[in-house]
Amino acid sequence: MDLMDHYRRLLESYPQCPLIINYPGWIFGLGLEVATWLIKSLGLSDVVYMSEKGPPEVVEPLGQAAGQAMVLLTTLPSQPTDYATRSSAQLRSMQMQSYFHLSHPNGLSNPIWSEMPLIRTKPVFVNYAGPRQGILGVMVLGSYHNPDLLRDLLDGAIVAVVAVENESAIAKLPNNAETAGDLPAEADGAEDEMIEDDRDEPNADPDSNMDDAASTTESQPASRPPSIPSLESRIIRTAKEDLPYLFVGAGSCTPPDPKASYSLGLAIVRAIHVSARKLELITPIPTSKIRETLERGHGIVLVRGQLDNPNWAISEEYHAARAAERRHHKLVAKAKKSKGAGYDLEKLEEMSQTLRERVRRAGNVPWMTVVEDSGRRHGGTAHREKTMWKLRKKAYPGSESETDW
């Protein structure tokens, strides 16, 4: 509905601007209820159902909703494909993986795609507690969860980085909410001290932060306007980690209102450093965008939704290592064929050992097991390189997991 408001405002300047709503294929259960409600509510001119063989429990409610709204319902034959190279889940993973490989080197306005595995990407460190707290809180959409589970829900998950403009972004705030303190008391401080980023410099120390860079290029941060009330009454701190769990609503968590909030992008929570009270994030969001948001006096909330877990992030370093090893094997074979002419065989052998070690390390990570196809072990190099992937939660020294399944 917020998008429809934007469209209606756009019509004031472009009265002939058409609108096509590409509704997702989720048309069963609650998805069907949403689809029929939208048909009745949006004032559409046409509804197109892209199947002539759809199940009656879907077609009939869509037809009834279109009839009540006096909208023409058209059915079109679905477009079959001779082959499907990727499943829907794989395509979603590829799209998400491509997003996280965006890079903005040297402040380029247009991002480029980086082939570097995320494990080698320099993270952003965000204080989630203390005098330099960089986020207002962490939301988990859906049902209320025991705060003690927040670390497990957050660790390794994809979260939305949402900027909150004012108090109306958070639903059902008490009328007596204090507006004098626009951010939690722990969050008072310069924005360049709340979020640490060592991505800009290739050789930066991992414990460095934006404070040094900002202090030489930025003036003193603008004071926060009294438009965001303190959320301390809404935040529950986890007992062990001190994570700020922000739950708003009854029964299920109400997300921030899009009229008073906006998304900066997505991030992967790569680690939670409890002793330092920091979140380690992987994100393609430019540092300048985060800094600009904080300078405006807007708060930041991390929102954990229903996105697929980034299992691809666990295995991509292994894929990259194996690909590098295969390329090197081809180079060695070429060198042997030419009997070493133009090649340093000793250095090639050293590189082979280095790449084998890289593959070994990449395959020895938590939550991932590489199972070789032993039935084809003696069937040649091509067969030996065929592997089967299995992701699992694995108990390892230093973890809190007690299961291995």
Is residue 398 a part of any domain in this protein? no
Q: Looking at the structure, tell me whether residues 315 and 292 fall in a common domain.
A: no
Is residue 354 a part of any domain in this protein? yes
Cα separation of 23 and 263, whole Å? 21
Q: Looking at the structure, tell me whether residues 269 and 369 fall in a common domain.
A: no
Q: Looking at the structure, tell me whether residues 293 and 362 fall in a common domain.
A: no
Q: Domain of 65?
A: 2-75
Q: Looking at the structure, tell me whether residues 282 and 253 fall in a common domain.
A: yes
Domain boundary among 304, 320, 342: 304
Is residue 399 a part of any domain in this protein? no
Burial 70-91 (b: 16+ CB within 10 A, else e): ebebebeeeeeeeeeeeeeeee
Q: Looking at the structure, tell me whether residues 203 and 283 fall in a common domain.
A: yes
Q: Looking at the structure, tell me whether residues 201 and 158 fall in a common domain.
A: yes
Is residue 115 a part of any domain in this protein? no
Is residue 116 a part of any domain in this protein? no
Cα separation of 166 and 229, whole Å? 8
Per-residue pLDDT, 195: 64
Cα separation of 215 and 173, whole Å? 36
Q: Looking at the structure, tell me whether residues 298 and 323 fall in a common domain.
A: no
Per-residue pLDDT, 205: 39
Is residue 293 a part of any domain in this protein? yes
Q: Looking at the structure, tell me whether residues 320 and 202 fall in a common domain.
A: no
Per-residue pLDDT, 221: 37
Q: Looking at the structure, tell me whether residues 359 and 317 fall in a common domain.
A: yes
Domain boundary among 281, 304, 327: 304
Is residue 105 a part of any domain in this protein? no
Which ranges of 218-309 does DSSP label H, i.e. alpha helix? 287-295
> What's the domain count of the chain?
3
Cα separation of 285 and 116, whole Å? 16
- H or E element, residue 372: strand 368-372
Q: Which mean pLDDT values do the consecutive 10-residue runs of the chain (405 residues) have?
A: 90 92 85 92 92 85 93 87 77 92 79 88 90 91 90 93 87 45 38 56 38 33 43 84 90 87 94 94 90 89 91 89 91 82 82 91 80 54 46 41 35
Is residue 88 a part of any domain in this protein? no
Domain boundary among 272, 304, 336: 304
Give the burial class of 226: count Cβ atoms within 10 A of its Cβ; 0-12 exposed, 13-18 middle, 19 or more buried: middle
Predicted TM-score (pTM) above 0.75: no
Q: Looking at the structure, tell me whether residues 229 and 289 fall in a common domain.
A: yes
Give the burial class of 195: count Cβ atoms within 10 A of its Cβ; 0-12 exposed, 13-18 middle, 19 or more buried: buried
Per-residue pLDDT, 179: 36
Cα separation of 310 and 93, whole Å? 7
Per-residue pLDDT, 392: 46
User: Is residue 2 a contact partner of residue 259, using CB atoms and an 8 Å limit?
Assistant: yes
Q: Looking at the structure, tell me whether residues 174 and 264 fall in a common domain.
A: yes
Per-residue pLDDT, 334: 85
Q: Looking at the structure, tell me whether residues 70 and 159 fall in a common domain.
A: no
